[in-house]
Amino acid sequence: MTIIDNITYGYRKNRPVFRDLTLKLGDGRIYGLLGMNGSGKTTLLKLLSGMLFPDKGRIMSDGENVAERSPGILQNIFMMPAEFRFGKISLDRFIALNSVFYPAFDDSILKDCLAGFGIGPKIDNLDRLSSGEKKKVLACIAMSFGTKILLMDEPVSGMDIPSRTLFRKLLVKHLRDEQTVIISAHEFSGLENIFSDVLIVRNDGTVYSDSIGNISVKYACGTDRSDTGALYSEPCAGGYRVIRKNISGIAAEIPVDILFNAVLKGAIR
Amino acid sequence: MRKFSIARMLQFCRLQLESSWFGNIWKLTGGLVLIVIFIILLSVTGGGSDIGRMMDTSENLLKVLVMMQIMGIYADIVRNDRPLPLMMIPASSLEKYISMYLSSAAVSLLLLAVSVTAGSGIYAIAGKILHPDNNAGINILFFREGWKFLAGSIETCLVSTTLVWMMPFVLKRKRYHPAVSCAVVAGFLAVLFLPAILMFAGVIPASAARYSSLAIMISVTIMNLRWGYVLFRQFEFDRKSND
């Protein structure tokens, strides 16, 4: 269990990105972290990983303060950045030098993921790969390290559509029961199908958080000629796409894109 | 889990050296040879015919190079464009901090070896050309006078440890009031040069100034190490991007 306990963080004084934010992140969940550009998605991931320190409050992972950056905490956190440079190094060397720090590293997962993406295990210079291939290789490494918390910042940007599907399948296949994954994404690229929960960062620094299961019981989505009585509506070809309160008691499917818009517009609080 | 492990510290040191510096040792050595040759040629062309003066200049320039490389090693640890930033590697801050000095020592030793080999060779040739009648033998760069090497090493340690706290302090200066930043730097320099100032003012004799300088240098180096560690622990990757 990871607890974000009343944190405030800002890059400049008097302009906090997050103010008094409190969240609980459960084990074995896949969180979709959504938000507009500049809303603070990467900042939240960096705070969770211990790269940044909250100005106020603390982030606890299994009872330990993440900002301590102790070896025990760091070996349970892997943050896959959106932009990175491997440098001139072979995959074997990279794995040999880094995997010694991660006791849950599983070479068979790495090989399976690489094979799944159609990438050979022998890569002499990781820097020569295309940006999409680099993302695939790092995603494979991230999955194979087996950390309890896996933070992925835009993992599929730069990947082609079949690779995004493969990424989704491989992540679900190799995810261990106790692992928590937080995936930040700008686009809705098929990943929403694997989210068990959503975290939507609003521009005012507040975060909407709920499980897809809860949302589907609370709200219903559909197309209607009229938007009367709807919590949120968007014009579409047949009238309106609307979100209403779910009074049937039967779980309904809510597309993440309309949920995202409804949260940002304040229709869902 | 233990907060300090020598094995983990050495693994971290190996990770940094192999992925950034010694990944291609021959290329690195070649680059260092070229830098050393450039520095020595610079000293030779500007040093008249006095080989001793030329060697002094070369040694001073090479010392500056050794002092500066620790900044490169520090920047490498705290940079955030690696797929796995070194600060996020599961090792304690103390292990990373000590490893930084170990890596710096390893690079310095390589630089020293290259300087001594290439530099002494070039100066032997320069000596034969400038003073063909002089058969005093080969002067080895840095080891011409034993005590000077020791003094130079202490000086290099002092400056290197100062750079280790000065760099994050200057980078994060906006966190402090400008007056605080200036006062810290001015206070540091005042303490360092206090014995010399008192000596020139006639307050203390030269011998007392020498001993108090030594005591201050040792104290300042210890303080540098301590404060450098505090700032190193607090280093944040606060680049705003990809939100």
What's the mean pLDDT in B143-169? 83
Average pLDDT, integer, range A258-266: 89
Confidence of residue B123 (pLDDT cuts 50, 70, 90): confident
Tell me: pLDDT of B124 over 90.
no
Q: What radius of gyration, in Å, describes the C-alpha atoms of chain A? A: 20
What's residue B185's pLDDT?
Answer: 86
Q: How far apart are CA A121 and CA A99, in angstroms?
A: 15
Q: pLDDT higher for B10 or B118? A: B10
Q: pLDDT by residue (tens digit) across A58-85?
A: 999 999 999 999 999 999 999 999 999 9
Q: In this predicted structure, what is the pLDDT of residue A71? A: 93
CB-CB contact of B224 with B88 (8 Å): no
Element (H, E) at A6: strand A2-9
Q: Burial-class residue B71 by CB neighbours within 10 Å (0-12, 13-18, 19+).
A: middle
| C-alpha separations of A59 from A67, B69, B110, B128, B190 in Å | 7, 35, 43, 68, 41
User: Which helix H or strand E contains A188, and what residues bound it?
Assistant: none
Instruction: State the average pLDDT over residues B58-78.
Output: 89
Mean pLDDT across chain B:
85
* Alpha-carbon gap: A144 to the closest alpha carbon of chain B (Å): 14
Residue among A69, A83, A101 minimizing CB distance to B242: A83
Instruction: Record the tokens describing residue A219, joined without a space.
Output: 């709200």
> For residues A8 and A25, is the Cβ–Cβ distance under 8 A?
no
Query: Which candidate, A111, A116, A75, places its Cα nearest to that of A92?
Result: A111
Tell me whether residues B90 and A53 touch, CB distance under 8 A: no
Q: Is B6 on the interface with A (CB under 8 A)?
A: no
Cβ A6 vs Cβ A56: under 8 Å: yes
- What's the one-letter identity of residue B207? S
Closest CA to B237 of A142, A72, A9, A252: A9
DSSP B175: G
CA distances from A137 to A61, A170, A181 (A): 27, 12, 18
> Which member of B81, B238, B243 has the closest CB to residue A41?
B243
**Is the Cβ of B236 closer than 8 Å to some Cβ of chain A?**
yes
Say yes or no: B229 contacts chain A, CB-CB below 8 A: no
| Contact B3/A at CB under 8 A | yes
pLDDT digits (tens, 9 = 90+) for A220-261: 888 888 888 888 988 888 888 889 888 887 888 888 888 999
What are the Cα distances from residue A211, in Å, to A39, A199, A203? Answer: 21, 9, 21
> What is the average pLDDT across B4-27?
88
Sorting pLDDT into bands at 50, 70 and 90, what band is A180? very high
Subunit contact A71:B8, Cβ cutoff 8 A: yes
Give the domain ranges of chain B.
1-144, 145-243
Which pLDDT belongs to residue B238?
67
Contact B83 A84 (CB under 8 A): yes
Residue A188: per-residue pLDDT: 62
Q: Reply yes or no on whether the pLDDT at B134 is more than 80.
A: no
d(CA B120, CA B47): 16
> How many angstroms from the chain centroid is the CA of residue B1?
33
pLDDT above 80 for B209: yes
The answer for residues whose C-beta is within 8 angstroms of residue A118's C-beta and 6 or more apart is none
- For residue A50, the 8-state DSSP code is T
Q: In angstroms, what separates the C-alpha of A29 from chain B's closest C-alpha?
A: 22
Q: How far apart are CA B113 and CA B119, in angstroms?
A: 10
Across A14-28, A233-247, B133-147, B160-174, least confident range: B133-147
Closest residue to B19, CB basis, from A43, A69, A97 = A97
Ordered by where they begin, the domains of chain A are: 2-205 (3.40.50.300), 211-269 (no CATH)
**Higher model confidence: residue B171 or residue A103?**
A103
Closest partner residue to A42 among B15, B82, B241, by Cβ? B241
Query: Considering only CB atoms, which chain B residues are within 8 Å of A98?
Result: 15, 84, 89
- Lowest mean per-residue pLDDT among A185-199, A235-249, B152-166: A185-199
Distance of residue A232 Cα from the nearest chain B Cα, in angstroms: 26
Q: Which helix (H) or strand (E) holds A58?
A: strand A56-61
When mean pLDDT is compared across A147-151, B167-171, B188-192, the lowest value belongs to: B167-171
Beta strand pairing call for A56-61 and A64-65? antiparallel
Q: What is the pLDDT of residue B222?
A: 92
**Residue in A38, A79, A94 nearest the CB of B88:** A79
- Lowest average pLDDT, out of A7-11, A112-116, A236-240, goes to A236-240
The distance of B19 to chain A (nearest Cα, Å) reads 7
In the block, residue with structure tokens 């070194």: B86
CA B11 to chain centre: 23
pLDDT the model gives residue A238: 80
pLDDT over 70 (residue A189): no
CB A89 within 8 A of CB A134: no
B contact test, residue of A13, A52, A79, A101 with most B CBs within 10 A: A101
Q: Which two tokens stand for residue B107?
A: 């690079």
Q: Mean pLDDT throughout B138-163?
A: 81
How many interface pairs between A and B have CB atoms less than 8 angstroms apart? 102
Euclidean distance between CA atoms B26 and B22, whole angstroms: 8
